[in-house]
Amino acid sequence: MRVRDVMSPHVITLRPAMTLSEAADLLRQGSLDGAAVVDGENRLIGIVTKTHFVREMAYGPTPNRTIGEIMTTDVYTLQESETISRLQQNSNIFRFGLFPVVNHQNQPVGYLTRTELIKYLSDHSLYLAEELKAVLNSAYNGIVVTNAEGVITLFNPAAEAITGLDASKVVGQMAEQVIPNTGMQRVLETGVMEVNQQQTIQNSHILSNRSPIFKDNKLLGAVAIFQDITELQAVADELETVKKLKSTLESILESGFECVVVVDTQGKITMLNQAYCDFLGKDSKQVIGMHVADVIENTRMHIVAQSGKAEIAAMQRIGDNNVVVTRMPIIKDGEIVGAVGKVLFRDVKDLKSLVRKFNNLQSELEYYKEELRKVQGGKHTFESIIGGSEKIAWLKAIGAKAAKGSSTVLILGESGTGKELFAHAIHTNSPRRNEPFIKVNCAAVPENLLESELFGYDDGAFTGARKGGKPGKFELANGGTIFLDEIGDMTLSMQAKLLRVLQEREIERVGSTKTLKIDVRVVAATNCDLEQMIEQGEFRQDLYYRLNIISLHIPPLRERREDIPQLCISLLQKINNRTPHDVEGVSPDAMNYLLGYDWPGNVRELENVLERAVNFMDDDQFILPEHLPPVIKKQYRQRETTDSVKDLAGIRFDAEKQAIVKAIEAAGGNKSQAAKILGIHRSGFYQKLRKYHIDP
C-alpha cells in the first residue's frame, strides 16, 4: 500500500508572503489540520499546522504577520510512492503532526495528519503507538507480530537477540519463511491461542505463547511472545537427571538385599536402608538421627567417620550373627563428611557357602580344561611333573631332549610313579604337540579286541563289526603320539604284530588287505620288569630293543622322599580345586609320617592319602597325624622300633643290599656281570634287585 492510496487530496497550499489573516480564511474554508507552504514554483518549502496557526492568531502580536514567519521548515514530507509498511518502521515520524505528500517535483499533492496515519496503520497494519513500541522494544521477552496475512509487522530487539534474526530483514516478510517452525501461521488459520509451546530456533530453546489478534471480531493478525529457556531447560534437565539418579539410588538401596547404613561425622545415622532395618528389627523413621552405636551393636561406623580409615571385610557380632562388614569414609572435597557401611555377609556361613560355590565352579572349570586338553592332545607338560629331586630333575631333562625327536620311548617304573605324566609331557614338548595323543591301556583291553583296537577293522571284518569299519588307535594317532600303557601285559602274538608295525611303519586293518602308512611316535610304559620277562620268554626281545631306544626309569617315591613335601603342596592344590575344601598344608608331625612311609603305590597313593585326610578334616587348615590312615602310622612306628633295635634279619637285609650295590658298581652297571661277581643266578639277582628296590 502506498501513501498516495490513503492521502487526503484536499491540500491547501499557502505562499510565504501571505498574511495570517489571509491564510485564516483559506484554512477555515477547508477545515483542514494544516497547510503546505509552497514557493513561487509551487515546490513545498514548509507547512503550517492548525495548532501553529491558532496559537499565532491567539497570542501573536499581529494578524499581519506572514505565513513565512510562522511556517515550520521542520517538515517530514511523504513521497506519494512511499510504502506504508516502510513508514511504520520509522517511529521518528510521529514527531510530526502533518505530513504533506508531494509528487516527484516536490509539489504538494495531498497530506496526512499524524492521527490519520496512525489510524490507518492501526487499521491496516497493526502499527502500534510509539509509546507502546518503546515498551515492546524494552521488553525482555521476544515479541513478534504479524498481520492477518502472516507478514511480520513487528520484531522487537529481544526477538532479534533470541532468534539471531535482524528485524530490518524480517519485517515485511512472511513469518513462516523466516522463523523456522513458527506456529503463527497456524494460529492465524485456527484463530486459537497456543500457550507454552516449545520450539528450537538457532540452538536456542524457546518457550512461546501465540495468540490471534481480533478487533471487532475480525482477525487482524497474531502475536507471539516468547522467551529463551535454553539455560533454564539445561538446569531443569540437570535437576531431572539428579532427581532420577536419586530415585534410582534410593530404589537400589531400598530394594537390595544388602544392608547399608550412612552416618555423618558425628556418627548420627542419616540413612539406614530397609534391608538393614529388617535385619536389625528397627524402624527406619525412628533411627534416623540417632547415634549409630545406639542402633547397631558393636559398630565402628562413628570411628570410621572420624578417622577416615576404611575397614574392609571386618567381622562384627550383631545379635547371634557374625557378620562381615565394610566401612568406608565418605570424603567430599578432601574432607570427611561421614561414612557408609555395608554388610557383606550376614553370617560367615554365607561366606563359606560362597567359597564352596566358587570352589565347585573352579573344579568344574578344571574338569573342562582337562577334558579340553584331552581332546587337544597331551594334558601335561614337564612343568606339571613335580619334584626337585636330582633323579626327577635328570629324568625331566632327558625327557625334554627325547621329546624333540621322534624315537620310541620306553618308560619304566612302579605303578603310580608318574609314567603317564611323562608320556604326556613328551608329547606336549614335541613338535607333534598339536596332533593327537592317543592312549591305549594294553592291560585293560581284552586280548581278542586289542588288535582291532590298535589297528582298526574293515567293513564286515567280524560279526558285530560296525558298518563302514572303524579306525584303530594307530590310525587315530597318525601324525601324533600313541601311548601304549602296560605294554608288559601284551600277549606274545600281539607283540609280534606290534613289532611289525614298528618296523614297517604301516598298519593293516583287521579284515583288510590294504596297508596304510602311518607316522606315529610310540611311547610305551610298563611297571613290569621286561628284561626278566624276556628271560622267562614272556616278552619278545626284538620288540624290547625296538621300544627301548630311549628309556626313562622313574624311581619310586621312597627313593626320592625329598619330593614328598613339594608333591604334597601341588596335590593338595589339585584336591582343593576339585573338592569343597581349602586345606593349607600338612602339619610337621604329619609330614614326618609321610616322609617315613614307603609308598608302594607311589605318587598315586600319596594323592589318595591326602584326599582321604582332607575328607577326614573338620575346620582344620593343616593335615594332622590323626587324619592319616593307620597303615602309615603303623609303618612309621615299626621303622622307629627297627631303627633302634635292629634284628638279625635287618642286619642281613642291609648287608645283602650293600653287597649287591657294590657288585653293580664293580660291574659298571652290567647286571649279568654283577650276578656273576655275587655268584648267584641272573634270575635270582633280578629278584634281589626288586626286593631291595635297587635300580642299576
Catalog residues that contact ligand ATP under the rule CB under 6 A.
385-387, 413, 415-421, 485, 527, 567, 570, 603-604, 607
Query: CB of residue 570 vs ligand ATP: minimum separation in angstroms?
Result: 6
Query: CB of residue 473 vs ligand ATP: minimum separation in angstroms?
Result: 17
d(CA 321, CA 342): 15
d(CA 590, CA 622): 9
d(CA 225, CA 206): 10
Instruction: State which residue, 265 or 381, has the beta carbon closest to ligand ATP.
Output: 381
Query: CB of residue 603 vs ligand ATP: minimum separation in angstroms?
Result: 3
Phi and psi (nearest 5°) for 299? -75, 155
Instruction: State which residue, 458 or 486, has the beta carbon closest to ligand ATP.
Output: 486
Query: CB of residue 658 vs ligand ATP: minimum separation in angstroms?
Result: 28
Contact 37, 13 (CB under 8 A): yes
Query: CB of residue 413 vs ligand ATP: minimum separation in angstroms?
Result: 6
Instruction: State which residue, 56 or 420, has the beta carbon closest to ligand ATP.
Output: 420
Contact 7, 103 (CB under 8 A): no
Query: CB of residue 651 vs ligand ATP: minimum separation in angstroms?
Result: 33
Contact 490, 440 (CB under 8 A): no
Instruction: State which residue, 451 or 485, has the beta carbon closest to ligand ATP.
Output: 485
Instruction: State which residue, 516 or 591, has the beta carbon closest to ligand ATP.
Output: 591
Contact 20, 60 (CB under 8 A): yes
Question: Which amino acid type is present at position 465?
Answer: A
Query: CB of residue 595 vs ligand ATP: minimum separation in angstroms?
Result: 16
Q: Which helix (H) or strand (E) holds 449?
A: helix 447-455
Beta strands in 238-384 (DSSP E): 259-264, 269-272, 311-318, 321-332, 335-345
Instruction: State which residue, 179 or 421, has the beta carbon closest to ligand ATP.
Output: 421
Instruction: State which residue, 268 or 424, has the beta carbon closest to ligand ATP.
Output: 424
Which CA distances in Å does 325 have to 274, 530, 654?
Answer: 17, 64, 63
User: In degrees to the nearest 10, what's the CA dihedral of 93, 94, 97, 102?
Assistant: 20
Instruction: State which residue, 158 or 524, has the beta carbon closest to ligand ATP.
Output: 524
Query: CB of residue 411 vs ligand ATP: minimum separation in angstroms?
Result: 8
Instruction: State which residue, 422 or 685, has the beta carbon closest to ligand ATP.
Output: 422
Phi and psi (nearest 5°) for 81? -90, -5
- Closest-approach residue to ligand ATP (CB): 418
Query: CB of residue 696 vs ligand ATP: minimum separation in angstroms?
Result: 20
Task: Mention every residue, 6+ apart, whose C-beta is less than 8 A from residue 292.
Answer: 261, 263, 267, 268, 269, 299, 301, 302
Which CA distances in Å does 113 have to 44, 100, 125, 611?
Answer: 16, 8, 17, 117
Instruction: State which residue, 70 or 487, has the beta carbon closest to ligand ATP.
Output: 487
Query: CB of residue 656 vs ligand ATP: minimum separation in angstroms?
Result: 28
For 390, counting Cβ atoms within 10 Å of its Cβ (0-12 exposed, 13-18 middle, 19+ buried), the class is exposed
- Reduced to 3 states, what is the DSSP secondary structure of residue 129? coil
